[in-house]
Structure 1
Amino acid sequence: MIGHDLFLPTPLPVICAGLMIMLAATAWRRSVGRGFSCAGVTLLLSLAAVGRHTGRLPDDGGSLFIQDQWTAYTAILIVFSSLCILLMSWRDAMHDRDALVDEYPLLLMLGTLGALTMVFSVNYMPFFLGLEIFGISLMGLMAFGRHPVLAGHEAAMKYLILSGVSSAILLFGIGLAYGVTGSLRFMPPVAAGDVPPALSVAATVMILVGMFFKLSAVPFHMWLPDVMEGAPVPVAAFLAVTSKIAIFSSLVRYFGTEQQAVFVDDILYVVIILTIMGGNLLALRQVSLTRLMACSSIAHVGYLLIAFLCPGHMQSRAITIYLAAYTASTLGVFAVMTAFATADGPDGTVIMQWKGLFFTRPFLASAMSLMLLSLAGIPPGIGFFAKFEIAAAGVEHQRDILLCVLVIGSIIGLYYYLNIIRVMISVPSLPPSSVTRHVRPELTALVIVLTIIVVIGGLFPARTLHPFLPVPAVASGTRDGTVH
């Protein structure tokens, strides 16, 4: 029984209960369909439970978790993303019995639990535990349903090594922060305007480096294209979307949304420039759509960090709308890739495989074009207003250099996004096959839902922005331990 002083966000026990039921069902009799159905029901129940909690916050501010508007918003994005990825994986589970087994939905649910634990944490212990749960589940997911199998194993091994290194750096920084503050509260050991001692600076920098590794910010980015290329398409989407939401949410929670120490601002300034330019320039050379989306994901992290570096009343709106736009558009691209693989045979990871898609599959080509235009920041997609809000936050704080980098990066991104559309518009070199397979109903429904989200967000920005929840002014609490 949960005590009254033990505060626990309800989505966490809901997913834990679902995992226990799935484990018991697997021990009784294996059934891939039942595992996926149970995972879907559990995710829907956890989505309904967002915003609720058990117990109450201790008066001394010693809780491990917090429930506020920011956690509710990011938890909804994470659970929604996991539901979409579950639908993308359904095709392999139902129609390719050798590709997936019962453990796949279990690992996906375990990864979702780790991501939610990071989002709700206000203490180093549950944050690091959630981070490692997510990483371990992701390594297992990479090895499923991939031909050749060695590609998935190679991706899992690369992620194991580099994730272990970044986690070690992060844990070392956490140890130093605890040594400085004597507390496991999830907040930096330095404050804006302070003259920090060397140990506090070292702790903050090491924690930042660990988070930059997980976010794949430049210069800690080289692992992401290789890992995403080796993983199955739904798992690549899980890595590109869910992990970025969880880590960025934790970054906002850790540093809050107020002015940071000068050296933190300087580090972020350099990382933002390198991340935007590095991600976009790397994407220009890619012939694999999965690798291109990985490089695009790196660039979008840089755009988000611009808003993070601009505290003020426009920051919360910029962050929330950009997270929603990135989530819907990126999931849309991977959903179309999965639908293309079911309809036309190729896995869709090579850009030239999409040649002439407007002639053979106009629905998929139109949906893909809309998602790419949204990522590029072109109307009518929601991505246009997301980048507009980022630019507005930069103008408010007179971040002129960062705004120039944002514009240059967006122009470069427009080139490689439009290049994919050009390939789809090109006349196919071979006549369309007389026998084509239909897109699975669940994938068709998923693509339609994501398209509607992107279009509605682009056509009615005022109504879309209004219900978005603001980021708390002090995300992790004040330095006396009071939680807001």
Structure 2
Amino acid sequence: MAAALPPALAEVPMPVLVLAAGILILLLAIACRRSGPGGAGSETGAGTVAAALIAAATLGLAFAGLWSPPPPQAADMARLFAADAWFAYGAGLILLSSGGILAMSWRRMAGERADEAHLLLLLGTLGAIVVAGSANAVAFFVGLEILSLSLLGLIAYRPRLPDALEAAMKYLVLAGTSSAILLFGLALAYAETGDLRFTAPLAANPAEPALATAATLLVLTGLFFKLSAAPFHLWLADVLDGAPIPVAAFIAVVSKIALFVALARYFAMTDLTGTALPAQDLAVVAVLSMVGGNLLAFGQTNLKRLLAGSSIAHIGYLLVALLSAGPFGAGSAAFYLAAYAAATLGAFAALGAVPDHPDLASWRGMFHRRPAVALALSVMLASLAGIPPAVGFFAKAYIVAAGMSAHRMVLLTALIVSSIIGLCYYLNVARVMMTPAPEAAAPAGATLPGTTVLLGALALATLLVGLFPGPLVQRTTGLFLPAAPGGETAARSHDILYAGAPPPRPRLLR
């Protein structure tokens, strides 16, 4: 399959090719239909094409490794993409999550211009996959901008929603600022190493450590903004509150998966076990995110803002796994990423089932009015809180095991304290849903079929994987090994990421 492709496309992962070609075809079809006598778009048609493209990209990701020979190596610097097992895992989570969000939004993105909504969703998915698989700084930045610009359009897509335009403007300003900071960091890294590989320049033992450290900190700052990790998190609650529910789910799930996969790849060759500056910064941000995110969500009366704080806290938990180099670190991060994606997507799907009730007070008595939705949301919140038998319990236990093996006692203490805080507001939502509803409470409407199927599937998967975590543990073990430079494991990781790539060019600054 890959042998029939031009050399410039042979190393591009199959999901990227499928989505890029499909987006162009869909864009052409929309333009032709709009220029015809009918003029109006077909929501069902665009949604069907988007679902078919996501399914085709998922199948291409699953079978490309079986049917295609290894891609040829790039001629200079580094390959654009690292089509390894870590990328395949992250891209698979992105595609499955995007498919779930499409099921939520099939009828929510209503209107005669609904075609553009599905087109933006596909563009965001494409950008997320490029970000997750980039081994080159230029490819990473291009993918990041595709993701950011598509999110901007999706946030402001329904301007009649309260605060939609305000949320879009906040995202525009902060996304532009963080992109500029990140780009400056990438430029400094290239000036120091003469290399466009997407990896921390400190791993190359630079002659000017101060410049390499500055570049790493600037890239980290930009990534932390995009990840909404504390203390760069203040925009997330406002944006999720103003965005439509499917778009909020996309920001909280798909973009976070892509950026964390990229962050782990960025530090693949860096020693994060010692007291070096990047490890210290990551540890501080992890503690601030865990504690600050849960404190932000504590006492919230808006469920979208509550899930925003929860998302910030879970980024901190993932950073603990990233910092816990050892036999469980990489596997625990990958496992937790899947558990977080399923539970958070399910929680937003439950909100989408009752879209006109974002306030916690309006969910009073939901176990009596909509027992299935309330039960599904309770399962998702139990997973996010780490309550057995939901998968989140094993995911947090896995991270604790990784932290214990790496002697990350301070981080584990913060994890336990913040988890107790989170337990309070997660259980409070269940308590409110069990409280008898007032007589004047408005009856909840019917749930759309796509949301119903998605909720049931995610609730079942959350419970089954929690009861039988073995297959996913086997799948995630050994996907990615962040290691110290110069060691045997680091050499193995280097071979996986940049097999056959030529040595770095001479540095531009002396």
Which TM bucket (shorter chain)?
over 0.9
Instruction: Note closer, same or farther for the CA distance 1:420–1:481 as it changes in structure 2 (3 Å cut).
Output: closer
Quote the residue 1:152 is aligned against: 164
Quote the residue 1:453 is aligned against: 461
Does residue 278 (structure 1) correspond to residue 295 (structure 2)? The answer is no
Q: CA RMSD in A?
A: 2.2
Question: Match of 1:213, SS?
Answer: helix
In the TM superposition, what are the counterparts of 1:279-428 in structure 2 within 5 Å? Answer: 279-341=293-355, 347-428=356-437
Does residue 269 (structure 1) correspond to residue 277 (structure 2)? The answer is no
Aligned AA (2:43): V
| Aligned match for 1:214, one of 213, 226, 248 | 226
Residues 472-481 or 369-378, more deviating: 472-481
Does residue 50 (structure 1) correspond to residue 61 (structure 2)? The answer is yes
Q: CA deviation at 1:461?
A: 1.7
Aligned AA (2:457): V
Does residue 3 (structure 1) correspond to residue 17 (structure 2)? The answer is no
Q: Which has the higher contact order (CA 8 A, sep 6+)?
A: 2
Quote the residue 1:344 is aligned against: none
Residues 311-320 or 4-13, more deviating: 4-13
Structure 2: gaps of 5 or more residues = 34-40, 483-489, 502-510
Alpha carbons 1:61, 1:481 under 8 Å: kept: no
Instruction: Note closer, same or farther for the CA distance 1:224–1:325 as it changes in structure 2 (3 Å cut).
Output: same
Residues 271-280 or 437-446, more deviating: 437-446
Scaled by the length of structure 1, the TM-score of the pair is 0.93
Alpha carbons 2:385, 2:419 under 8 Å: kept: yes
Instruction: Note closer, same or farther for the CA distance 1:59–1:164 as it changes in structure 2 (3 Å cut).
Output: closer
Does residue 15 (structure 1) correspond to residue 19 (structure 2)? The answer is yes
In the TM superposition, what are the counterparts of 1:430-449 in structure 2 within 5 Å? Answer: 430=439, 437-449=445-457
Quote the residue 1:127 is aligned against: 140
State the aligned residue count: 474
Q: CA deviation at 1:400?
A: 1.1
Quote the residue 1:62 is aligned against: 78
Instruction: Note closer, same or farther for the CA distance 1:448–1:105 as it changes in structure 2 (3 Å cut).
Output: same
Q: CA deviation at 1:50?
A: 0.7
Q: CA deviation at 1:192?
A: 8.6
Q: CA deviation at 1:317?
A: 1.5
Task: Give the distance between the partners of 1:418 and 1:192, measured in 2 at CA.
Answer: 47
Aligned AA (2:134): S
Quote the residue 2:216 is aligned against: 204
Alpha carbons 1:170, 1:210 under 8 Å: kept: yes
Q: Please give the per-residue CA displacement for 1:402-423, whole angstroms capped at 9, x wherever unaligned.
A: 1111000000000000000000
Among all aligned residue pairs of Structure 1 and Structure 2, give the percentage whose two residues are the same amino acid: 45
Q: CA deviation at 1:483?
A: 5.9
Task: Give the distance between the partners of 1:367 and 1:300, measured in 2 at CA.
Answer: 20
Q: Please give the per-residue CA displacement for 1:382-406, whole angstroms capped at 9, x wherever unaligned.
A: 0000000111111111111111110
Instruction: Note closer, same or farther for the CA distance 1:349–1:257 as it changes in structure 2 (3 Å cut).
Output: farther
In the TM superposition, what are the counterparts of 1:20-31 in structure 2 within 5 Å? Answer: 20-29=24-33, 30-31=41-42
Scaled by the length of structure 2, the TM-score of the pair is 0.88
Q: CA deviation at 1:119?
A: 1.0
Aligned AA (1:460): F
Q: CA deviation at 1:442?
A: 1.5
Quote the residue 2:254 is aligned against: 242
Task: Give the distance between the partners of 1:453 and 1:56, measured in 2 at CA.
Answer: 38
